[in-house]
Chain A
Amino acid sequence: MNKPKINRVEMPRQKADKRKGNFNEVAQGYTHEMAKTEASRCLQCKKYPCIKGCPVNIDIPGFIKAIRDDDLPGAVGVLKKDNILPGICGRVCPQETQCEELCVFNKSGNAIAIGRLERFVADWELKNKDKVKPVAVSRSTGKKVAVVGSGPASLTIAADLARMGHDVTLFEALHTTGGVLIYGIPDFRLPSEIVGEEVDNIKALGVKVELNYLIGTIESVDELLGRFDAVFLGTGAGLPIFMNLPGENLSGVYSANEFLTRVNLMQAYRFPEYHTPVKVGKQVAVIGGGNVAMDAARSALRLGADKVYVVYRRSEAEMPARREEVENAYEEGIEFIFLANPTRFLGDEKKVLKAIECIRMELGEPDSSGRRRPLPVSGSEFTLDVDVAIVALGTNPNPLITSTTPDLKTTRWGTLVCDEDTGRTTCPGVWAGGDVVTGSATVISAMGAARRAAVDIDKYLKGDYIRPGQYWRESKGEEPAE
């Protein structure tokens, strides 16, 4: 087993008792010294296993070597060749299950902190823009591409296509770009300024942005195809899933999307300076066990809740949230109630939430996801007194576009039927990638899908190999599955 001479360099973090009272970033980032020490641990393996773990195949040893050699502009160049959003990815990618998992030091628990180094380089660039060469843009092809949405998939493909010389316009329904990066992920994990800076970098490549522009309503996909040569749908999964339990619409019950949108996009934690309110619960229950549930719970705590519970129907081992975020939540005093599931929401005479009734669960045989299926234990109901409940059980794609574009085939979950390698949809001239295809997944997997679609759209626009009209069916020789 490979063992490094020195251990992984820890990243400074705000202390738990302090950070639970503010929305500032928890993780503070490496100093230059720390980054150099960490970079010096990298063996620069010949087979670079780490790159295989990266959905966008960043030249990881390359940028780490540049840090070690004190060539930070060079590190920026290597990183940005494959990832236009390094400040975001360095913060929110699950490196522990991707690049870092494949690091030869991982077995001894000492993988190179690739994510922290990526973040260090990105943050250095933001403070040293004058020292970095601007990203090269190819000569204009005269081809126009519409990119719908402005989350990670859309931002990535917009940047790639712009670099390839195409004329790109992003259409965003909200008043700000960034999609889930800006409405979903809280400032204490991903500051909105970082998203803003990285979006500005993409605009600097010549990408145009139309805000307050809801495709499917103000203009259909078919209409877009009339004035653009290709369309990419990066509209994400924005439709919150509810449980259809009694009392779910009581005042005080939120979807995680609503709660986080109020807090993040609308900055409700700065009310009344910002004008959007949010209910600050005394006792809050968050239902779910993913990263979004952790974000909601930790946000509720920061708003001033006395007690925040996370209610999850399986056990701790099955939680889909990143380990790091679960540990942060523990440290901040979030209380986890495992193997429990809500059965109804209870209100007072004014229909305001006062408690949730839950039932204990036990784990049975593994289900299709490979995790043991949770089953209710009859007669084990208990109530939890709460005045705010946040349902964080995932999201499906918004049907606004598919309902107005009959050619787009969808699965029964509402996700788009798409060719995985190219992102081609069933509708000629239309590609898609990210959560709208996969259902809620990671930022980086959305970016990976977008990069593959960019390559295919570029070939299509240059007339290399796809005849007009040759899309999903013909290229695969089969009908798309329902």
Chain B
Amino acid sequence: MYKILETKNLAKSIYLFRIEAPLIASKARAGQFVVLRVSPKGERIPLTLAEWDPQRGTITIVFMIAGATTCQLSKLKEGDNITDMLGPLGNPTEITNYGTVACVAGGFAIAVIRPVVKALKEAGNRVISIVGVRTRDLLFWEEELRKESDELILTTDDGSYGRKGMVTDPLKELLEGPESINRVIAIGPTVMMKFISLTTKPSGIKTITSLNPIMVDGTGMCGCCRVSVGGETKFACVDGPEFDGHLVDWDELMSRQSTYLDQENHAYKCLTGTGEEHRS
């Protein structure tokens, strides 16, 4: 059983759950994910690990309500159980001393960039974190990440906090600035990772992106999560989830991610009974 020990509403529609899962906690590493189900009729969804504590035997996930399943998940309380949880899945982030690394996170991915930042710091890197959110209300863990990074740059789409604009603006300035950047790691919405990859491409700086395609089993059995990387088909669940952003066919990935938009909206309407369509 995967008992929920702690829940927190981190920001509007963004939640944190700390869950009892000693086996997963004992093996987890930065960049890995779990696949979970919220109910016996539920779908299987992947979520990247935000924290884990092998001593206490717990893992932490952070998610945003983006459809029926995450909406249902958000309704669970401390003491409730997650029906099924499988992990840790995927390859961990490759960590070594690269020199200076820019870690870019979009939206609630700030939660999952932190373990990467911490591991990079432990390996002796200088880490510059860039976090972009739509608006200030969606920002959380700013102080934590500021402490963990050598430098933190914040952007908001609407200018309500930090710099106004997209994460690609400060990234571009960094690349053009005096400091040499040895690697970029990006986690967040697919469209953001696409534009980060386009931004870094002219400089040729290795850009690692953590992909989030639709998955079913998460163990290499179904091939739902396949992506074209450098002209080859890869399964994000077992070959990834991290790939060289310069080689990913982003438009194909986004097309595959939208395969079920109509059904997802329908399921969300059925669940909430509001007749309101949800767009994340």
Where the two chains meet, the residues of A that have a C-beta atom closer than 8 Å to any C-beta of B are 173-175, 183, 211-214, 217-219, 238-240, 242, 244, 248-252, 254-255, 257-258, 261-262, 266-267, 271-277, 279, 347, 350-352, 398-400
Contact = CB atoms under 8 A, between A and B. Distances in A.
A275 B69 contact: yes
A267 B216 CA distance: 12
A250 B255 contact: yes
A279 B220 contact: no
A219 B222 CA distance: 22
B227 A249 contact: yes
B137 interface: no
Nearest to A255: B223
A273 B255 contact: no
B134 to A, nearest CB: 25
Contacts of B256: 249-251, 351
Contacts of A272: 68, 263, 266-267, 270
Contacts of B44: 175, 266, 276
Interface string B70-113: 00000000000001111111000000000000000000000000
A266 B88 CA distance: 21
A238 B222 CA distance: 8
B266 A351 contact: no
Given A211-B84, A277-B264, 12 more contacts: A175-B86, A212-B86, A217-B27, A217-B88, A250-B252, A272-B68, A273-B41, A274-B43, A277-B260, A277-B267, A347-B255, A351-B252
A249 B256 CA distance: 8
Interface in B8-38: 23-24, 27, 37
Nearest to B68: A275
B219 interface: yes
A363 B106 CA distance: 55
A238 B260 CA distance: 24
Contact of B216 (A173, A251, A258): A258
Nearest to A271: B263
| Closest 3 pairs between A and B when the two form their complex, measured CB to CB | A351-B255, A277-B263, A258-B222
B272 interface: no
Contact of A248 (B233, B264, B270): B233
B81 to A, nearest CB: 12
20 contacts: A173-B217, A173-B219, A183-B221, A211-B84, A214-B89, A217-B27, A217-B88, A218-B27, A218-B87, A219-B23, A238-B219, A240-B221, A240-B223, A249-B228, A249-B249, A255-B222, A276-B43, A277-B264, A351-B252, A399-B220
Contacts of A242: 223, 226, 233
A276 B216 contact: yes
B258 interface: yes
Contacts, number: 120
A254 B224 CA distance: 7
B176 interface: no
B255 A350 contact: yes
Contact of B221 (A211, A213, A261, A277): A261
B124 interface: no
A261 B228 CA distance: 22
Nearest to A184: B221
A400 B238 contact: yes
A467 to B, nearest CB: 34
B213 to A, nearest CB: 10
Given A272-B270, A350-B255, A175 B263 contact: no
Contacts of A250: 252, 255-256
A378 B24 CA distance: 54
B259 interface: yes
A266 B216 contact: yes
A279 B37 contact: no
A174 B218 CA distance: 9
B204 interface: no
A175 B84 CA distance: 6
B251 interface: yes
B216 A262 contact: yes
Given A173-B217, A249-B252, A251-B256, A275 B222 contact: no
A399 B91 CA distance: 14
B24 A218 contact: yes
B223 A258 contact: yes
Contacts of A351: 251-252, 255-256
B42 interface: yes
A169 B83 CA distance: 21
Nearest to A260: B222
Contacts of A275: 39, 41-43, 68-69, 267
B23 A218 contact: yes
Contacts of A251: 255-256, 258-259
A149 to B, nearest CB: 11
Interface string B35-53: 0010101111000000000
B221 A239 contact: yes
Nearest to A210: B23
